[in-house]
Structure 1
Amino acid sequence: MSGPIRLAVIGMGKIARDQHLPSIAGNPDFELVATVSRHGEGEPDTPFFHSIEELAASDVKVDAVALCTPPQVRRAIALAAIERGWHVFLEKPPGATLAEVEALNEAAAAKGVTLFASWHSRFAAGVEPARAWLADKAIARATITWREDVRVWHPGQDWIWQPGGFGVFDPGINALSIATCILPRPFFVEEAELDVPENRAAPIAARVSFRDAAGVPIAMDLDLRQEGPQSWDIVVETAAGTLTLAKGGGELTLPQGAAAPPASDLEGEYPGLYARFAALVREGRSDVDVAPLRHVADAFLRGRITQVEPFID
């Protein structure tokens, strides 16, 4: 494909406006040609539609779409795009179930278009250096602490509490996307405790115990009720010392004191995602890694559910 990739963004919520639109504007490989949302408004001087069907019926030329909708409705929209020969960028999590993501991957392959299941936290500044450092280390244990205030990061987003909305695993899957990237061996859920508010269908907190293929324990603590300082940390203890990834992977500290430059919020992650998507489209390839989603599914399969006090947003 020569020239910019003509891209439409579908789902104009907070993440689309805060991260996707600036990253698209800063990447010459893309041209934003439309936005689509059931509610709200589009961007100035950019065609706006209320559905993918309206977009397809228009005279706007589209090569690819970025889906920023809640995961519960994403499969049908993605499939409609694939059937039209459009390349598809899936915001995380890539779908509400493993089966639907696998079906989309098969559909994309049959149609010859790119499907990209994006994991933005893997593009944080400290993640790749952490993976490289851990590759030959003897790991003793790992601890994942992901505690944030849902009122700050998901204000008024009721979908997160619905079946298929993931609850605390919506941010928690970011931690799992990093862990599955940096840890050198596969790991598995042994047990999980899920705290579900009595007025909600998805957990507000979870404790998950994993063990890797060599028997190394990995503990994960997730909570959406954190006030004050937020915690997005992964600590890996090794025979060579302790590695710490803080700020969602943006800040790396190694035993010898070397560290990746600190980053704030999601700076740099989404530009990296769009660079990756452009490369995949131009190379005619897909990238659909479901390992983080599989761990979430396993946590629900093996989880003991405890009902806790109601959550009022």
Structure 2
Amino acid sequence: MDPIRIAVVGMGKIARDQHLPAISGNPNFNLAATVSPNHGGEPGIPHFKTLDELLESSTGVDAVSLCTPPQVRYELAVSALRAGMHVFLEKPPGATLSEVVALTARADKVGTSLFASWHSRFAAGVAPARAWLSERVIKDVKIIWREDVREWHPGQDWIWEPGGLGVFDPGINALSILTHIMPSPVFLNTATLSLPANRAAPIAADIQFRDTAGTPIHMDLDWRQVGPQSWDIIVETDAGQLKLSNGGAVLSLPSGVERNEDMEYPGLYARFATLIRGGRSDVDLDPLRLVADAFLRGKRQSVEEFHD
């Protein structure tokens, strides 16, 4: 079976650190092209300033990974789908729920695969956590997701603009895990969003969720953390405590601690290949829906200005 010829659109840090190595390590894919107006390409690989330039060229491409900021992703995805390409959407899958729904319908109509990727779901501890919780009574959940924005998103102004999500850019990773491991659907009760006086997106958020079984879920998001970073989900059950730490990479159970190799992006590309070979799509909007609910229902408070 011939490899899937894939182009990476948007050659920033996430593309170089995660996408390119995952593609290189998967025999189902062959990197056919890169696209970026601001960054160079890879040695020996055709590079284009825009997706339109790629589509107008003679370079053969079957699929694209869209690693751009979400605010500009919809039009790129439409162009790719119109050209009959399979589309991988880096998280979050779009700037709004409605545009991702529209993309899903378009992909179904043209018969190509659309993949709304949630890389944290492929962290080593997530699948076994989901399996363990499926047989337990869950009493309480706490999410502590605190990091230093200056370390992880230096100079990325788009992330503070409408549609850039602010602190929910990392926070949606926690929600992608939460909605995957919880046996019952989750919804928002209350939220307080802290917005710097000079920014349009929050730098912190305090949120109360619960699931349809009545389980209380508290989420503490903050981009002002210094020192050790915190990416933890703690679940109290009738059989003891489950803890996912380091973004889901480490699973702690009453029976002990499990640590396995980080396979998030390799796992995403294995899933994308399976979808393409099987003629299917995978577009789960639950994490983005919870973020939208926080913006819809959340109380906003102004905090001190943020400057890089």
Shorter-chain TM-score category? over 0.9
- Mapped to 1, the partners of 2:200 and 2:260 lie a distance apart of 36
Matches within 5 A, 1:17-36: 17-36=16-35
Distance in 2 between residues matched to 1:282 and 1:212, nearest whole Å: 35
Alpha-carbon offset, residue 268 of structure 1 = 1.1
Amino acid at match of 2:277: R
> For 1:218-237, what aligned pairs fall within 5 Å after superposition?
218-237=217-236
**Residue 68 of structure 1: aligned partner:** 67
Alpha carbons 1:192, 1:206 under 8 Å: kept: yes
- Residue 269 of structure 1 corresponds to 264
Which of 265, 279, 282 is equivalent to 1:284? 279
* Residue identity in the other structure for 1:91: E
Which position in structure 2 is the counterpart of 1:84? 83
Runs of 4+ in 1 over 4 A off after TM superposition: none
One-letter amino acid of the counterpart of residue 167, structure 1: G
Root mean square deviation of aligned Cα: 0.7
Show the 5 A alignment for 1:43-122: 43-122=42-121
- 3-state SS of the aligned residue for 1:137? coil
What is the identity, as a one-letter code, of the residue corresponding to 2:275? L
CA distance in 2: counterparts of 1:256 and 1:284, whole angstroms: 40
Q: CA deviation at 1:262?
A: 4.6
Distance in 1 between the 2:11 and 2:199 partners? 25
8 Å contact from structure 1 (residues 196, 306) kept in 2: yes
Whole-Å separation in 1 of the counterparts to 2:18 and 2:290: 26
Q: Name structure 2 gaps, 5 residues minimum.
A: none
- Measured against aligned partners, the alpha-carbon deviations of 1:48-89 in whole angstroms (never above 9, x if no partner) come to 101110000111000000000000000000010000000000
CA offsets per residue over residues 170-195 of structure 1, 9 Å max, x none?
A: 00000000000001101110000000
Question: 2: distance between equivalents of 1:287 and 1:214?
Answer: 26
Consecutive unaligned residues of structure 1, counting only runs of 5 or more, are none
Residue 311 of structure 1 aligns with which residue?
306
Q: What percent of counterpart residues are identical?
A: 65
Tell whether the 8 Å contact from 1:129 to 1:260 is kept in structure 2 after alignment: no
Deviation track 1:217-255 (CA, whole Å, cap 9, x = no partner) reads: 000000111111000000000011000000000000001
1:38 deviates by 1.6
Query: Take 2:54 and 2:175, find their aligned partners in 1: how far apart are those partners?
Result: 35
**Residue 293 (structure 2) pairs with residue 295 (structure 1):** no
**SS of alignment partner, residue 27 of structure 2:** coil
Counterpart-to-counterpart distance in 2, 1:36 and 1:42: 7
Q: Which residue of 1 aligns with 2:173?
A: 174
TM-score by length of 1: 0.97
Cα distance in structure 1, aligned partners of 2:128 and 2:244: 10
3-state DSSP of counterpart to 1:260: strand
Instruction: Give the Å deviation of 1:260.
Output: 2.4
Distance 1:179 1:107 in 2: 28
**Matching residue's letter, 1:55:** L
Q: Which residue of 2 aligns with 1:260?
A: 258
1:196 aligns with 2:195: yes
8 Å CA contact 1:192, 1:302 repeated in 2: yes
Report the AA paired with residue 178 of structure 1: I
* Residue identity matched to 1:8: A
